């Protein structure tokens, strides 16, 4: 059975049979039989985390809040020569679901989603995550408490996506965020329309442009860092240095040797990587040449892992060449934009001939009458 059919059958079962199907798949995939929503006593995890770790998380939260708070944009309204008002107004999404993988818990991913959501004004956030030995990772719960997320559910995998999308065992969400494996990705793809989704994340990628000035140890370790995510992760070196090219001759690192940095940039745009590091004599001069990348990190002291964890920039990025048309997760992903207009009588009567003729072209007679009937 192929992946699409497999996931579809599970989602259909959950939608049709509700909580009984959810319990069945939780027992099958998570080896869990208990209640889904976290009980009050399970929030008592303070003794499970070192105070030093709490301080680190608190500091990272402040850095993320500082960066993302700069992304808030005001509503736009203006008045034209007729005295009519036009604009674009923004509202936060009402309720979001955050999927946090439970196999290898990723508290940093929860931070990257929940903080811009909070800054956008989302009031209602929930977390779903696979329980391990019946429990949710304490770091995930500590972050949830810090960010005032009150609903956490011990559900993972396809069944978690179905539960959030269809409102099984919980109130339905409006949009789902968070990374997952191929089953979670496919489930998100299939529930799109019932709910919104952030993206379909693929294997992690790093592309690194470097010249002869780059520290070879820095370059090699940065290239290897993203391969740690899994066997499907990708690592590209684009360089003008034969010495560096030879030094990075390691398994799974794809190397390209070019005559100029302009050629390196051209190849980077073709790859459209999730992460792009530029370690050259003057990295800022390469930036105008870059069109396709999820994130760009400049200089030898801006490694991808620093951005993954503590710089404050978001690490939820487009993968699989999606940087050609997609963007880094940001505050606007948690908001909706609505046009607003209040047209004066003078403008409608003066300019309606434009709409009347377009209605005639399209054969929409009632559209035409709606504009013509006004006096």
Q: Which of 302, 303, 276, 120 is nearest to 208 (CA)?
A: 276
Domain 3-197 has CATH 3.40.50.720: no
pLDDT at 309: 95
Query: Would you call 229 a catalytic residue per the annotation?
Result: no
Local structure of 229: helix, strand or coil: coil
Residue 253's Cα: distance from chain center in Å?
A: 26
Residues in CB range of 92: below 8 A, 6 or more apart: 120, 121, 122, 123, 334, 335, 336
Q: What sign does the dihedral 292-293-296-302 (CA atoms) show?
A: negative
Report how far residue 216's alpha carbon sits from residue 212's, in angstroms, rounded to the nearest whole number.
9
- 224-273 pLDDT tens trace: 999 998 889 999 999 999 999 999 999 899 999 999 999 999 999 999 99
State the catalytic residue, choosing from 186, 274, 277, 315: 274
CB 235 within 8 A of CB 247: no
pLDDT at 108: 95
Q: Enter the tokens of residue 228.
A: 């740690």
Residues in CB range of 21: below 8 A, 6 or more apart: 13, 14, 159, 168
Local structure of 224: helix, strand or coil: helix
User: Which CATH superfamily does the domain covering 205-324 fall into?
Assistant: Nitrogenase molybdenum iron protein domain (3.40.50.1980)
Q: How do the pLDDT tens digits run along the chain, 375 residues long?
A: 799 999 999 999 999 999 999 999 999 999 999 999 999 999 999 899 999 999 999 999 999 999 999 999 999 999 999 999 999 999 999 999 999 998 777 899 999 999 999 999 999 999 999 999 999 999 999 999 999 999 999 999 999 999 999 999 999 999 999 998 999 999 999 999 999 999 898 899 999 999 999 999 999 999 999 999 888 999 999 999 999 999 999 989 999 999 999 999 999 999 999 999 999 999 999 999 999 999 999 999 999 999 999 999 999 999 999 999 999 999 999 999 999 999 999 999 999 999 999 999 999 999 999 999 999
CATH 3.40.50.1980 domain span(s) along the chain? 3-197, 205-324
Question: How much is the pTM?
Answer: 0.92
Query: Would you call 65 a catalytic residue per the annotation?
Result: no
């Amino acid at each position: 059975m192929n992946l699409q059919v497999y996931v579809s059958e599970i989602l259909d079962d959950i939608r049709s049979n509700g909580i009984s199907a959810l319990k069945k798949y939780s027992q099958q995939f998570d080896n869990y039989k208990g209640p889904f929503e976290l009980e009050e006593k399970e929030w008592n995890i303070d003794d499970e985390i070192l105070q030093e770790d709490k301080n680190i998380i608190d500091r990272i939260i402040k850095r993320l809040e500082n960066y993302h708070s700069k992304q808030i944009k005001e509503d736009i309204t203006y008045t034209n020569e007729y005295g009519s008002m036009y604009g674009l107004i923004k509202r936060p999404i009402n309720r979001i679901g955050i999927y946090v993988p439970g196999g290898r818990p990723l508290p940093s991913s929860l931070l990257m989603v929940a903080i811009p959501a909070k800054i956008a004004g989302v009031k209602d956030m929930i977390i779903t995550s696979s329980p391990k030995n019946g429990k949710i990772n304490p770091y995930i719960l500590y972050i949830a408490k810090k960010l005032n997320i009150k609903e956490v559910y011990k559900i993972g995998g396809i069944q978690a996506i179905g539960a959030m999308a269809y409102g099984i065992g919980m109130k339905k969400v409006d949009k789902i965020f968070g990374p997952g494996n191929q089953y979670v990705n496919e489930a998100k793809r299939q529930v799109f329309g019932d709910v919104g989704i952030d993206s379909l994340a693929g294997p992690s990628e790093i592309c690194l442009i470097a010249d002869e000035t780059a520290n070879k140890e820095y370059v090699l370790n940065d290239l290897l860092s993203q391969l740690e995510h899994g066997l499907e992760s990708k690592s590209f070196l684009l360089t003008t240095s034969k010495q560096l090219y030879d030094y990075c001759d390691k398994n799974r690192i794809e190397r390209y040797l070019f005559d100029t940095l302009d050629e390196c940039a051209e190849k980077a745009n073709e790859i459209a990587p999730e992460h792009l590091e530029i370690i050259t004599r003057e990295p800022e001069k390469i930036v105008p040449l870059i069109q396709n990348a999820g994130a760009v990190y400049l200089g030898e002291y801006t490694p991808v892992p620093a951005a993954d964890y503590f710089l404050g920039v978001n690490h939820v990025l487009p993968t699989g060449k999606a940087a050609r048309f997609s963007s880094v997760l940001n505050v606007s992903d948690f908001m909706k934009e609505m046009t607003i207009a209040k047209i004066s009588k003078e403008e409608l009567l003066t300019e309606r001939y434009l709409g009347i003729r377009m209605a005639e072209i399209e054969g929409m007679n009632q559209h035409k009458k709606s504009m013509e009937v006004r006096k």
